[in-house]
């Protein structure tokens, strides 16, 4: 195990940003920056032991600052869309940034992804550890309460990336924090993810409208094209998934005390497998359906349609406006929010 730190560059306002490299006993290597908690790269082996970077991203800090679709970012306070960019809590209406048509997307214009987090590098419990801390001020992006947030990345010797979240607040506030990593198990510069085999164990999903905001209706996946409870090749189902984009799935157990397996993705050519385990009640599956419109420049060229996939473990963002249907996402003073998500990698036949 090892963890190293080095300068990653300066932001336009002069603040310095660092890059951290975590390496496990098997040579799996994870690079992270404390700017937005961005996961910069993750090199994992295929069935023949050949490593590839399975995370989409940009070439350097300047590329991230110029704008990107939340590659590998800590995303919050509320990841996803809040309809109408407002919510009412305890009788008070809070207007938010309209950064996605009339909606608030991924916490607003200056969300968690654009903050410089305070880093602490550790080695503990058989893992390389990077702990990131940020205090989101009361009223920032329109959200109430001083939200104290710590996100911890661990790279373990069983080739698992473990992400822990811990948050407290001094005022009631909505919270649905996640990581927005884009994965491609072929390698980030090696085509699309339509040949990947997906299994997502959600038994229900939240219905979305044409703008991808959630209507409040929840349906069973039974008999639907987005039923991924049994392994399927994505290209065989993508046409039936909402706008070829993805869906917000609910798991039968709801939120759990310990992580349990909720999704498994296999790439047949390389043999790479990624298992996703989480304590969260749901996951937003995203197929990079918007990348084609952005003509997004990546690390080694331009990313095209369906260049990567996201498994954003979280509750429904629109739960702030429709808690009875989609689940309550309010964190209140005196409560300690904790969550764990694990992305575990292996390779087989």
Q: Among 68, 106, 180, 306, which one carries the catalytic annotation?
A: 180
What is the pairing mode between strands 204-208 and 214-220? antiparallel
On whether the CB atoms of residues 201 and 230 are closer than 8 A, the answer is no
Give the C-alpha separation, 303 to 306, whole Å: 8
Active site annotation includes 180: yes
Per annotation, catalytic residue among 188, 267, 312, 318: 312
| Element containing residue 7 per DSSP (H, E) | strand 2-10
The answer to whether the beta carbons of residues 142 and 172 sit under 8 Å apart is: no
Q: Is 222 a catalytic residue?
A: no
Backbone angles phi, psi at 91, to 5 degrees: 85, 0
Cα-Cα-Cα-Cα torsion 234, 186, 339, 220, nearest 10 degrees, comes to: 0
Decide if 330 contacts 174 (C-beta within 8 A): yes
Q: Report strand pairing: 160-169 vs 147-156.
A: antiparallel
- Tokens at residue 106, please? 């991924």
29 neighbors 41 (Cβ within 8 angstroms): yes
Note whether 120 and 133 are within 8 A (CB).
yes
How far apart are the two ends of the chain, measured CA to CA in Å? 27
Q: Are the beta carbons of 312 and 81 closer than 8 angstroms? A: no
Comparing C-alpha atoms, which of 4, 276, 1, 29 is closest to residue 127? 1
Tell me the catalytic residues. 180, 312
């Amino acid at each position: 195990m090892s963890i190293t730190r080095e300068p990653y560059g300066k932001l336009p306002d002069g603040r310095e940003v660092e890059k951290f490299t975590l390496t496990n006993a098997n040579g799996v290597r994870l690079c992270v920056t404390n700017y937005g908690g961005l996961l910069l790269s993750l090199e994992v082996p295929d069935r023949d032991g050949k490593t590839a970077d399975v995370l989409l991203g940009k070439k350097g800090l300047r590329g991230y600052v110029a704008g990107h679709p939340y590659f590998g970012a800590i995303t919050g306070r509320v990841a996803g869309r809040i309809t109408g960019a407002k919510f009412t809590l305890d009788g008070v209406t809070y207007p938010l940034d309209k950064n996605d048509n009339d909606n608030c997307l991924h916490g607003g214009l200056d969300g968690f992804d654009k903050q410089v987090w305070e880093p602490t590098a550790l080695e503990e419990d058989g893992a390389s550890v990077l702990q990131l801390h940020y205090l989101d001020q009361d009223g920032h992006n329109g959200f109430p309460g001083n939200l104290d947030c710590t996100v911890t990345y661990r790279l373990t010797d069983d080739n698992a990336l473990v992400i822990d979240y811990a948050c407290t607040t001094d005022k009631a506030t909505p919270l649905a924090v996640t990581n927005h990593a884009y994965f491609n198990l072929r390698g980030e510069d090696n085509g699309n993810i339509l040949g990947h085999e997906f299994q997502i164990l959600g038994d229900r999903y939240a219905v979305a409208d044409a703008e991808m905001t959630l209507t409040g209706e929840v349906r069973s996946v039974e008999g639907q094209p987005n039923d991924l409870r049994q392994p399927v090749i994505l290209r065989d189902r993508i046409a039936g998934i909402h706008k070829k984009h993805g869906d917000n799935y609910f798991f039968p157990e709801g939120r759990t005390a310990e992580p349990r397996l909720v999704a498994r993705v296999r790439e047949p050519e390389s043999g790479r497998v990624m298992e996703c385990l989480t304590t969260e009640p749901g996951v937003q599956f995203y197929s990079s359906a918007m990348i084609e419109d952005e003509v997004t420049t990546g690390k080694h060229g331009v990313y095209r349609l369906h260049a990567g996939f996201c498994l954003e473990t979280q509750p429904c963002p629109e739960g702030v406006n429709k808690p009875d249907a989609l689940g309550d996402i309010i964190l209140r003073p005196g409560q300690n929010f904790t969550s764990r998500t694990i992305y575990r990698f292996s390779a087989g036949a």
